[in-house]
Amino acid sequence: MYSACPIAGINGGYEPEAIYIKVNNAIISEVTLPPGHLRWWKHEACIFSEGERTVGIMYGGSDGEKAIEAYRNLEADNIIANAPMLVNDYDPMGERFVDGSYTEEQLSQFDYEDYRRHQGVRHPRTVYALTEDNDLLLIAIDGRWPGKAEGMNAAEVTRFIVRYFNPQWAINMDGGGSTTLTIKGLGHPETNVVNYPTDGGTHDHTGERKVTTHLLVLCNEDAQ
- pLDDT (tens digit, 9 = 90+) per residue, 18-43? 999 999 999 999 999 999 999 999 99
Within a domain: 7: no
When divided into structural domains, the chain yields a total of: 1
Q: How do residues 142-176 score in pLDDT, each as one tens digit?
A: 999 999 999 999 999 999 999 999 999 999 999 99
Specify if 98 maps to a domain.
yes
In a domain, 206, yes or no: no
What is the Cα gyration radius of the chain?
17
Would residue 93 count as lying in a domain?
yes
**207 assigned to some structural domain:** no
Residue 221: predicted pLDDT = 65
Percentage above 70 pLDDT, the chain: 97
- Span of 1-5, 8-12, 47-51, 83-87 with lowest mean pLDDT: 1-5
User: Would you say residue 185 lies in a domain?
Assistant: no
- Which bin fits 82, alpha (ψ -120 to 50), beta or left (φ > 0)? beta
Position 182 pLDDT exceeds 70: yes
Residue 77: inside a domain, yes or no?
Answer: yes
Residue 75 lies in a domain: yes
- What rounded mean pLDDT belongs to the chain? 95
What are the DSSP calls for the chain, one per residue?
-EEEEEEEEEE--S-GGGSEEEETTEEEEE--SPTT-TTGGGGSEEEEEETTTEEEEEE--SSHHHHHHHHHT---SEEEEES-EEEETTB-GGGGSS-TT--HHHHHTS-TTSHHHHHHS-B-EEEEEE-TT--EEEEEE--SBTTTB--B-HHHHHHHHHHHT--SEEEE---GGG--EEETTSSSTTT-B-S--STTSSSSS--PPP-S-EEEEEEEEE--
Query: How does residue 2 score in pLDDT terms, banded at 50, 70 and 90?
Result: very low
- pLDDT per residue over 68-95, tens digit each? 999 999 999 999 999 999 999 999 999 9
Q: Which domain holds residue 82?
A: 15-174
Q: How far apart are CA 204 and CA 29, in angstroms?
A: 33
Between the alpha carbon of residue 34 and those of residues 2, 65, 113, 140, the distances in Å are: 44, 10, 15, 31
- pTM listed for this prediction: 0.94
Per-residue model confidence (pLDDT) at position 1: 39
What's the pLDDT score for residue 3?
Answer: 57
